[in-house]
Structure 1
Amino acid sequence: MSESLSNVVYLFLAVVGLVMAAWKSLALFRDATPTLALIVSMQTCGAVDYAMASPAGYRAIGEMTHQPSFATLPVYVGILICFAHAHILTLLWDPQARKATSSLRRVIAWTLTYAFGASLMTTFFLFADPSGAVDPLRFNTTYADNPMIFLFLLVFLVMLTSGTLNTWRQCRRMELTDPQIQHSVRAFSLAMLAIFGYVVCSAPAIALAALGNHSLDTLGVFGSTCGAIGTVAIFYGLAGAATSAWWRERRDYKFLQPLWDLVVSTVDQNLAFSVRAAQSRHLTVNVTFQLHRRVIEILDGIRVLRPWMSPTPMSAVHLLHDQHIAQGSTWAPLAQQDLDAAVTAASLHDAVRRLQSARQKQGHLGRTSRSQLHAEPVVRLPGDDTPAANERDRLLRVSKALSHPLVSAALREANGAGLPQAGAGANG
């Protein structure tokens, strides 16, 4: 990697690292956990480290300290700190490791090990005298014949090997229930192997350079490329699951719009936290909060519609579904969950129609008082006992079912059946 390209790549990675640290900081603000705190710290440290390691940053530090190679010390110690974060992070991620009684002792032991390694590196570097101008990408091989620098590099490579391989091993052993997080952990483990490529490239180049042979200096420079590739994989590993979750939440927010329009916007806009925000199709920030609000508002709207629900459209859905199965149709038979969603969708459509009809008869547009409703048993909907954690999935199925041909046919059947529209609001 040339010096000019290194500047571009390193500074780009520094900016990306800072952006990700800021993003994770928002999550940390909402949900303060040790793992999120470690991620924010690691990303911040990595971003600063890449800024210092760029040839431009490296030389700027040299000019400020009047020691051209001084930046090597904070850069290499910073790298060690980053991988200490990564190793301890995987110990906290692993459910099995967390259950072990010795987990805290392991975290403390590894923390002290990395701290001792950083102290050794600092001592060896300060006792050395790496004077004179140097190519920032070739420091290792330029000063490998200096005994103190050689010990400095030896400790660095040993600790980096420990950090990368132990983290890779921990990730490979981890079994998580969430497939998205499991995928991210696998990416994290591959990042460790890529960064270990830095050790594979640098170790022989340093060993030969210490003996006065510089034939592998270019291989040592290539090690920085392995580090950059591994860093990109780390970014993906740390952000992949969160980005996928953000995308799914944004998608689900949009998919719930038809149901929100039906049971909130049409019924009572006072149920909405913010009507203008809820009707926005370009949600990018605070997605989790907005999605939770949307689910809550829809459930509130369904609760308002309870007195106006009738069993007639529900029965019509089941009847028409059975007829279509027997006679064949253009759409496939519905699974039980999808059939329940269709029943709910038809009931909500009908309840909204009945509520609007009652409002027109009473000559006002506000919410109809419950005192004007018949005290008849409230119609139960399929999925009324759904756990809160599963409501989002249930409502997504209901929103999708709103436009299903079965629901449209059931509503026509119910409205034209000439049957008494049983339910709390029949005579509203």
Structure 2
Amino acid sequence: MYDLVANCLYLAIGALWVVLAVFKSRAWRRQRFPALLVMAVASAATAVSFLCSAPAVAAVINESSGVGFLGLLIVYVARLLFGAGAVVLVLLWAPPSRRRAGEQAWAVPYAAVRTQVRRKVGWVYGPVIAAMLVLFALFPPGLDSSLPLDTTYAAQPPVLAFLLVYQAAFAWGLWQLGRTCRRHATAAAAQRLLRRSLRCLAVGSALIGGYCLTKCVAIGAAAAGTHVLDWVGSVVSPLSGCVGCLVLAVGWAGAAAAGWRQRRADYRALRPLWTAAMQVDGRLALDGPRRPWAEWLTARDLEWRLTRRTREIRDGQLALRPWVPEDVVAAARRCAAEHPDMAPQEREAAVAAAAFVGGLRALRARQRPERHCEHTPGADVAPGDERRHLVLVARHLQGPFVTRVLAEAS
């Protein structure tokens, strides 16, 4: 029964981390940020560690190779690779005081931390893995790989040294990751999604650290000749590690998943404004409109689709400018001034929506205004705020503000 539960649990978590590795690899191919590559490699290493931890998989590896506990060695090395990746991420996620102005943590170039990576990763994990391989080769012959190594053979000096070296190196990487994430979560108080992801990473690191601590307790007791705490190493440790890895996966992918949901929501929110912009000049669109159900199912290439839709809307606004009546814009600004509770971004978006609808109405009637608006409302929005601005414009397109402005300007 234990093997069945362990197989299902480890294989399921391993499959989850395979998915994360694939998504992080795709993200790195698009943006080529070193942090994304490190996360992809660390995710792949974690996936290997869980897949090989499944008793069925470990048994196949041991029997096919003829080397006892080879599956466990692969698991431990994979976990150390994750720990090495965690330390590299810590170096890349430097605090703002150590980054150039405007530089994001995930975009820090590898060259900026190459020396530290060589010192803190290459000179630590390289010798650790080499020492583990040597100690593994010194295991006494005839060890039964169907039994737990840590509690059954902890009294053997090579085995004890092998286990303690692994636990110390793995715990060190987790401690570095958890400490940095806690510090950065406090600094990112204004960024809700980032703060949540960092807290998940910190909690996940602490829970996996609990795996290391409880394993050491069980190993120490077994090395001292008592096995009353074997259940701590066989039940509490795996449970703490699995829960920690699930929490870590949430933090690993939380911000990316939230960003994907936001891009998808923005893409759908811009549809009414894009449809209206295409009425100005249908030649502005690279492709024709998609059916509503097809757009609702859109899940891939959202960044590219959003960028294209934003540019096509902006082109439509530019083409509509000679048709936007000056009196409509003036009326919109007067109405907006009567709502001091509106945020400046919301006010500018409402004025831009009224100007767009007013210009579209004049275009449909083929009545060019005597005085058109020379400066399109919202045209000076910063590039980083453009998408959010257009989403607000789309929400006001058929709202009461635009209706009131058009009624006053008529």
Contact 1:91–1:98 (8 Å) recurs in 2: no
In the TM superposition, what is the alpha-carbon distance from 1:292 to its structure 2 partner?
Answer: 1.2
* Cα distance change on mapping 1:316 and 1:278 into 2, 3 Å: farther
The correspondence for 2:252, drawn from 225, 230, 238, is 238
Q: Which secondary structure state, in structure 2, belongs to the residue aligned with residue 71 of structure 1?
A: helix
Alignment of 1:112-123 (within 5 A): 112-123=123-134
Shift of 1:71: 1.3
Specify the alignment match of 2:224 in structure 1: 211
The one-letter amino acid paired with 2:163 is: L
Q: Counterpart amino acid of 2:253?
A: A
Q: Which residue does the alignment assign to 1:354?
A: 362
Task: Return the structure number with greater relative CO, CA threshold 8 A, min gap 6.
Answer: 1
Aligned-partner Cα distance in 1 for 2:73–2:344: 64
Distance 2:38 2:290 in 1: 33
Note closer, same or farther for the CA distance 1:320–1:116 as it changes in structure 2 (3 Å cut). closer
Structure 1 runs (4+) greater than 6 angstroms displaced: 373-377
Measured in 2, the distance between the counterparts of 1:99 and 1:345 equals 39
Structure 2 CA distance for aligned equivalents of residues 150 and 320 of structure 1: 77
> What is the aligned residue count?
393
Letter in 2 for 1:355: L
What's the secondary structure of 1:62's corresponding residue? helix
In structure 1, the gaps of 5 or more residues are: 326-331, 362-372, 416-428
Residue 411 (structure 1) shift: 1.5
The match for 2:140 among 111, 129, 139 is 129
Matched, 1:220 2:224: no
Please report how far the alpha carbon of residue 198 of structure 1 lies from its aligned counterpart in structure 2 after TM superposition.
1.1
TM-score, reference length from structure 2: 0.89
Match of residue 286 from structure 2: 273
Q: Which residue of 2 aligns with 1:296?
A: 311
Alignment of 1:11-410 (within 5 A): 11-96=11-96, 99=99, 103-111=113-121, 112-129=123-140, 131-135=142-146, 138-174=148-184, 175-176=187-188, 178-221=191-234, 222-264=236-278, 266-277=279-290, 280-320=295-335, 334-358=342-366, 378-410=373-405
Identity %: 30
- Which amino acid in structure 2 is aligned with residue 154 of structure 1? L
* 1:51/1:57 contact within 8 Å kept: yes
Partners of 1:276 and 1:383 lie apart in 2 by: 25
CA 1:334–1:166: 2 relative to 1, 3 Å: closer
> Can you list the C-alpha shifts for 1:64-122, whole angstroms capped at 9, x where unaligned?
11234221211111111111111211221123585499954332112120111111111
Question: Are residues 73 and 276 of structure 1, via their aligned partners in 2, closer, same or farther at CA, if it must alter by over 3 Å?
Answer: same
* Cα pair distance change 1:109/1:333, threshold 3 Å: closer
Q: Is the 8 A contact 1:69 1:131 kept in 2?
A: no
Structure 1 residues 96 and 109: CA distance shift in structure 2, 3 A? farther
How far off its partner does 1:380 sit? 1.4
Contact 2:325 2:372 in 1 (8 A): no
TM-score by length of 1: 0.85
SS at match of 1:275: coil
Once the two structures are superposed, residues 145-196 of structure 1 have per-residue CA deviations (whole angstroms, 9 ceiling, x without a partner) of 1111111011011112211112222222223464322321221111111011
Cα displacement string for residues 341-381 of structure 1 (whole angstroms, at most 9, x for unaligned residues):
222212111211222222xx9xxxxxxxxxxx899765313
Structure 2 unaligned spans of 5+: 101-110
Bigger CA drift: 287-296 or 92-101? Answer: 92-101
